[in-house]
Chains A and B, each alone.
Chain A
Amino acid sequence: MASLKRSVESDPLAANISNKIYVRSTKSGKVQKIVREVYLRRDIPCSSKLCRECQHQMLIPKDALGKPIPFVLSDSPAGTKVFPQGHYLVPDTNAFLTAMDLFEQESAFYDVIVLQIVLEELRNRSLPLYNRLISLTKSEDKRFYVFFNEFRLETHVARLEGETVNDRNDRAVRRAVAWYGEHLARIKGKDAPSIVMLSNDRDNLRKAKQEGIHACSLADYVRQLKDGEKLLDMIPETQDRDQIKEKRPGDNLYSEYFSMSKMMTGVKSNLLHQGIFNVSPYNYLEGSIRVPAFPKALLILGRENINRAVDGDLVVVEVLPKDQWKEPSTQVIEEDAITKNENPDAEESDDFVSERERKALQEEVKRTHRKTTEGHAQPTAKVVGVIKRNWRQYVGHIDQSSVSQSAQQGRKQDSVFVIPMDKKIPKIRLRTRQVSELLGKRILVTIDAWDRSSRHPSGHFVRSLGELETKAAETEALLLEYDVQYRPFPKTVLDCLPKEGHDWRVPQSLEDPGWKDRQDLRDLLICSIDPIGCQDIDDALHSRPLPNGNFEVGVHIADVSHFVKPGNAMDAEASIRGTTVYLVDKRIDMLPMLLGTDLCSLKPYVERYAFSVIWEMTSDADIVGSRFTKSVIKSREAFSYEQAQLRVDDSSQQDQLTTSIRTLLALSKKLKQKRLDAGALSLSSPEVKVQMESETSDPIDVKTKVHLDTMSLVEEFMLLANTSVARRIYEAFPQTAILRRHGAPPKTNFDELANQLKVKRGLDLSVESSRALADSLDRCVDEKEPFFNTLVRIMATRCMMSAEYFCSGTQAYPEFRHYGLASEIYTHFTSPIRRYADLMAHRQLAAAIEYEAIHPSTRSRGKLEAVCKNINVRHRNAQLAGRASIAYYVGQALRGKATEEDGFVMKIFSNGFVVLVPRFGIESLIRLRDLAETEPQAEFDAENYVLRVSGSREVRVELFQKVRVRVTDQKDETTGKRGVRMELVKTY
Chain B
Amino acid sequence: MASSTNVHLSPAELSYLHTSLSLNPPIRPDGRSPTQYRPLSAETGILPGTNGSARICFADGTEAIVGVKAEVEKTRRRWDDDTIFGENQNQEEGEEQDEGEGQGSSDWVELTVEIPGYRDDDSGTVFLGQMLCEALLADGGFVRRLRINRRFHWKVYLDILLISPPLSYPLPLLSLTTHLALLATRLPKLKSEGDEDPFFDDDWAAAPYLYVRNPTTKRVTERPPVTLLVMAVGGNVIFDPSKEELAVADVVLAVSVGDDASSREGRMDVDGRSNNSGRNLKLLSIRTVDPPSRLTPPGVANAANSAYGHAQVVSTGANQKMPEARQTESEAVEGVWKPPRGGAKAVVMGALVQKVLVRGGVADEVLDALEGVDTS
Q: Which residues of A contact B (CB under 8 A)?
A: 1-6, 19, 21-25, 29-31, 33, 35, 159, 161, 163-165, 259-262, 264-266, 268-269, 271
Contact A264 B49 (CB under 8 A): no
Contact B204 A262 (CB under 8 A): no
Chain B, interface size category, equals 35 or more
* Nearest CB on A from B191, distance (A): 7
Closest chain A residue, CB of each to CB of B38: A1
Residues of A near B202 (CB, < 8 A) are: 22-25
Residues of B near A1 (CB, < 8 A) are: 37, 39-42, 369-370, 372-373
Within 8 A of A (CB), among B355-376: 369-370, 372-374
Contact B197 A265 (CB under 8 A): yes
Contact B43 A35 (CB under 8 A): no
Contact B48 A21 (CB under 8 A): yes
Residues of A near B85 (CB, < 8 A) are: 265
Contact A261 B199 (CB under 8 A): yes
Closest chain B residue, CB of each to CB of A36: B48
B193 part of interface (Cβ distance < 8 Å): yes
B51 part of interface (Cβ distance < 8 Å): yes
Within 8 A of A (CB), among B217-257: none
B97 part of interface (Cβ distance < 8 Å): no
B171 part of interface (Cβ distance < 8 Å): no
* Nearest CB on A from B108, distance (A): 15
* Nearest CB on B from A158, distance (A): 11
Contact A259 B192 (CB under 8 A): yes
* Nearest CB on A from B268, distance (A): 25
| 28 A-B interface contacts by CB (under 8 A) | A1-B40, A1-B370, A1-B372, A2-B40, A3-B41, A3-B42, A3-B43, A4-B42, A5-B374, A22-B203, A22-B204, A23-B200, A23-B202, A23-B203, A29-B197, A30-B72, A31-B188, A31-B198, A33-B188, A33-B204, A259-B191, A261-B196, A264-B197, A264-B199, A265-B85, A265-B196, A265-B197, A271-B84
* Nearest CB on B from A398, distance (A): 42
Q: Which residues of B contact A (CB under 8 A)?
A: 37, 39-43, 46, 48-51, 57, 70-72, 84-85, 188, 191-193, 195-205, 207, 369-370, 372-374
Beyond the given A259-B199, A261-B198, please list 20 additional residue pairs across the A-B interface where CB-CB is below 8 A. Answer: A1-B39, A1-B41, A1-B369, A2-B41, A3-B43, A4-B43, A6-B46, A21-B204, A22-B204, A23-B188, A23-B207, A30-B71, A33-B204, A163-B205, A259-B193, A259-B196, A264-B197, A264-B199, A265-B192, A265-B195
A23 to B71 Cα, complex, angstroms: 12
Residues of A near B57 (CB, < 8 A) are: 4
* Nearest CB on A from B157, distance (A): 13
10 A-B pairs with least C-beta separation:
A261-B192, A261-B199, A4-B41, A265-B197, A21-B204, A35-B48, A1-B369, A265-B196, A23-B188, A261-B196
Residues of B near A268 (CB, < 8 A) are: 197
A165 to B201 Cα, complex, angstroms: 11
A403 to B149 Cα, complex, angstroms: 54
A780 to B204 Cα, complex, angstroms: 69
Closest chain A residue, CB of each to CB of B37: A1
* Nearest CB on B from A14, distance (A): 14
Residues of B near A24 (CB, < 8 A) are: 202
A542 to B21 Cα, complex, angstroms: 112
A870 to B39 Cα, complex, angstroms: 68
A264 to B197 Cα, complex, angstroms: 7
Are A261 and B49 CB-contacts (below 8 A) given A29-B72, A165-B203?
Answer: no
* Nearest CB on A from B178, distance (A): 16
A22 to B40 Cα, complex, angstroms: 32
* Nearest CB on A from B339, distance (A): 34
Closest chain B residue, CB of each to CB of A161: B205
Contact A261 B191 (CB under 8 A): yes
Contact A23 B205 (CB under 8 A): no
A261 to B199 Cα, complex, angstroms: 6
Contact B191 A31 (CB under 8 A): no
Are A6 and B43 CB-contacts (below 8 A) given A35-B48, A264-B197, A266-B84?
Answer: yes
Closest chain B residue, CB of each to CB of A35: B48
Please report whether the interface of chain A is mostly helix, strand, loop or mixed according to DSSP: mixed
Residues of B near A262 (CB, < 8 A) are: 192-193, 196
A964 to B284 Cα, complex, angstroms: 95
Contact A19 B204 (CB under 8 A): no
A213 to B193 Cα, complex, angstroms: 42
Residues of B near A260 (CB, < 8 A) are: 199
Residues of A near B205 (CB, < 8 A) are: 21, 159, 161, 163, 165
Contact A33 B51 (CB under 8 A): yes
A415 to B20 Cα, complex, angstroms: 96
Closest chain B residue, CB of each to CB of A2: B41
* Nearest CB on B from A167, distance (A): 11
A35 to B192 Cα, complex, angstroms: 24
Contact A25 B48 (CB under 8 A): no
A501 to B100 Cα, complex, angstroms: 81
Contact B200 A25 (CB under 8 A): yes
A266 to B84 Cα, complex, angstroms: 8
A25 to B188 Cα, complex, angstroms: 10
Residues of A near B203 (CB, < 8 A) are: 22-23, 164-165
A21 to B50 Cα, complex, angstroms: 11
Contact B49 A33 (CB under 8 A): yes
Best-surrounded residue of B85, B191, B199 (most CB of chain A within 10 A): B199
Residues of B near A3 (CB, < 8 A) are: 41-43, 372-374
Best-surrounded residue of B41, B188, B197, B207 (most CB of chain A within 10 A): B197
Best-surrounded residue of B71, B84, B85, B205 (most CB of chain A within 10 A): B205
Closest chain A residue, CB of each to CB of B195: A265
Best-surrounded residue of A4, A24, A30, A259 (most CB of chain B within 10 A): A4
A159 to B207 Cα, complex, angstroms: 15
Residues of B near A22 (CB, < 8 A) are: 202-204
Residues of A near B200 (CB, < 8 A) are: 23, 25, 31
A534 to B192 Cα, complex, angstroms: 61
A2 to B56 Cα, complex, angstroms: 10
Closest chain B residue, CB of each to CB of A267: B197
* Nearest CB on A from B122, distance (A): 30
A563 to B46 Cα, complex, angstroms: 59
Residues of B near A6 (CB, < 8 A) are: 43, 46
Residues of B near A159 (CB, < 8 A) are: 205
Residues of B near A163 (CB, < 8 A) are: 205
Closest chain A residue, CB of each to CB of B369: A1
* Nearest CB on B from A35, distance (A): 4
Contact B201 A23 (CB under 8 A): yes
* Nearest CB on A from B2, distance (A): 28
A19 to B40 Cα, complex, angstroms: 29
Closest chain B residue, CB of each to CB of A3: B373
Residues of A near B50 (CB, < 8 A) are: 33
Residues of A near B195 (CB, < 8 A) are: 265
A3 to B56 Cα, complex, angstroms: 9
Residues of B near A264 (CB, < 8 A) are: 196-197, 199
A264 to B152 Cα, complex, angstroms: 15
* Nearest CB on A from B184, distance (A): 12
A2 to B48 Cα, complex, angstroms: 22
* Nearest CB on B from A11, distance (A): 14
Residues of A near B72 (CB, < 8 A) are: 29-31
A427 to B105 Cα, complex, angstroms: 56
Contact B39 A19 (CB under 8 A): no
Are A23 and B40 CB-contacts (below 8 A) given A261-B192, A262-B192, A265-B197?
Answer: no
A266 to B192 Cα, complex, angstroms: 13
Closest chain A residue, CB of each to CB of B56: A1
Residues of B near A161 (CB, < 8 A) are: 205
Closest chain B residue, CB of each to CB of A28: B72
* Nearest CB on B from A8, distance (A): 12
Closest chain B residue, CB of each to CB of A260: B199
Residues of B near A271 (CB, < 8 A) are: 84
A306 to B48 Cα, complex, angstroms: 47
Contact A2 B39 (CB under 8 A): yes
A165 to B202 Cα, complex, angstroms: 10
* Nearest CB on A from B155, distance (A): 11
Residues of B near A165 (CB, < 8 A) are: 203, 205
Closest chain A residue, CB of each to CB of B375: A3
A1 to B36 Cα, complex, angstroms: 11
